[in-house]
Amino acid sequence: MSKIVSGLLKSIWLIPGLIFLYLIGGDRPVSIALWLAPVFFIRYFRETGRIIGPIVALPFITAISVVSNIGILPIPLNIAVIYFFKSTIIAIIPYILDRNLRSYLSMGLRTLLFPASIVALLFYQSSIGPGMWVSNIHIVDDINLLQIVSLSGVWGLVFFVSWIASLLNELWEHRENFPSVRRLVVVSIVIITVVYGFGVIRIRISHEPMQRINIGSVVPRPAEAQAAVQNIQGLLGLDETNNETRLALRAKIKAHFSNLIARSERLASAGSEIVIWSEAAALILLDDSEECLETAMQSARKYKYYLGLSVGLQRDKIHRDRNGFRPFIDNMLILISPEGEVLWEYSKSKITPGLEKMVMIPGEGKMRLADTGRVTVTGAICYEMDFPDLIRQSGVMDADLLLAPSNDWPEIKNRHATMTRMRAIENGVTIFRPTGSGISVVYDAYGRQLVKVDYFQSGGASLIYPVCSESVNTLYSKFGDYIAWFCIFFATILSATGILRVIIEKDKKTIS
């Protein structure tokens, strides 16, 4: 009976961990919860049995993950449950490694096993799955601490947060024998001071760029957005043999495009030097592609502005089979100069799960660069901003300005806008993100938020932002995910060392 009571008391650590895990999820996460959840989860796994601990934790962590993130993923609930169950299995591996192997490592190394394993597994998940949606690290909101991302990418920050959790548990276990961890405490204080101090200094010595450029955004108003959705639905259900219906739909789609061009021209007349549309703000049919592009080029030439045309361009006729539709729409961003020339075209390469996956043709993912004479401009589209290695191209190219047209939904509007900030710091680039059904934001090269506009409050109103833009050199843009690869190597070495020592200990016991 006493063993049962003792086991229940040890399992109590799981409860605060689950509470903080819940606060991490959703569209308005609590930043401090990101730091506290792993502290209590480490404590729980260390206190409970090596088998019963994971078995008990797995369903509870899965359930909390599902409940706290309802509406976040654009997939049915039953598929979301399976997704989070699989993710939880991977997520608890670092806790299991820490629980079983740490005692076979030296004092300093044992605090590094957990964070190195976290980074290694998250990097693996992000590489084969939904990018940085596998991590909640973007909810860290201290601008000074975030500057470490310019050196290490997001993985350095993941490592740091996880290391703090491991460190606190080590200090807790040695709370009655402080001399044994005195050196660890001193080294840890130095590391924390250096990491945070770097951010403070980097922000302090930053300067405002000399170049200032007025950028306008065109986001379909709610009624226009609804009409655009109906146009797409009409296109998907179109009977090609019904000429009257086809012509009526074609007229609606062209009228919507013309309306957005007119709004762009008003912004240009009001002083916008660049006008950028939100993601797939208009649909262009196969038969009208040349006419619509010529209209856009004439507009840019007449009003002397750069036009960032974000459209869904029909590339092929609609083909249906028993599996659904064959992708036929190219989700594009086209930059047109004031001379009416196409400077570059870019097709979205990372396609969002759901309807978009059914109809969108993925691009090659090669970002383009144009020099306006004042700033260099590149672009990527919405979901792609969640993939650090893809967006790193902007840093490699030394782009001053990254146009990131997006389109969200209410359940992710704040979370997804915040994720963009990491890409700005990693690559030292100003990001302009006009967003339908979400949050339009502008981040400078240090991740400082310059503008924030809620679509559901502004109603998709056209706005002009005076943006200061100049690229900033970063270590991450030069060397990429070197921290992640180092953590994979380091976690492998530490785990192998721990396992080898476990085997040796068992052999000694067998011999004795």
Which of the four pLDDT bands, split at 50, 70 and 90, describes residue 481?
very high
| More confident position, 462 or 154 | 154
Q: What is the pTM of this model?
A: 0.93
**In DSSP terms, which residues pair with 441 in a beta bridge?**
433, 452
The answer on pLDDT for 76 being more than 60 is yes
The answer on pLDDT for 324 being more than 80 is no
Residue-wise pLDDT for 196-246, tens only, equals: 999 999 999 988 777 789 999 999 999 888 887 777 777 776 666 566 777
Integer CA distances (angstroms), 228 to 219, 249, 462, in order: 12, 11, 17
Q: Residue 242: its pLDDT value, please?
A: 64
Q: Which two tokens stand for residue 509?
A: 């016991």
Q: Residue 326: its pLDDT value, please?
A: 79
Which of the four pLDDT bands, split at 50, 70 and 90, describes residue 32?
very high
Q: What are phi and psi of 334, to 5 degrees?
A: -120, 125
> Looking at this protein, which amino acid is placed at residue 150?
S
Q: What angle do CA 217, 222, 225 make, to 5 degrees?
A: 80
In the chain, where the domains are located: 2-206+489-511, 212-471
Integer CA distances (angstroms), 280 to 239, 247, 284, 296, in order: 23, 21, 10, 15
Check residue 149 and report its DSSP letter: H
Residue-wise pLDDT for 350-388, tens only, equals: 998 877 888 889 999 999 999 998 899 999 999 999 999
Q: Cβ contacts of residue 163 below 8 Å, gap of 6+?
A: 111, 112, 114, 115
Distance between CA atoms of 424 and 432, rounded to whole angstroms? 10
194: how many CB neighbours lie within 10 A of its CB?
10
Name which of 386, 491, 497, 498 is nearest 159 in CA terms.
491
Do residues 500 and 474 lie in contact, with contact meaning Cβ atoms separated by under 8 Å? no
The answer on pLDDT for 154 being more than 70 is yes
Q: What percent of the chain has pLDDT over 90?
A: 72
The answer on pLDDT for 312 being more than 60 is yes
Distance between CA atoms of 288 and 151, rounded to whole angstroms? 46
Query: Across all residues in the chain, what is the average pLDDT?
Result: 91
Which of the four pLDDT bands, split at 50, 70 and 90, describes residue 247?
confident
Q: Residue 77: its pLDDT value, please?
A: 84
Q: Domain 212-471 adopts which CATH fold? A: Nitrilase/N-carbamoyl-D-aminoacid amidohydrolase (3.60.110)
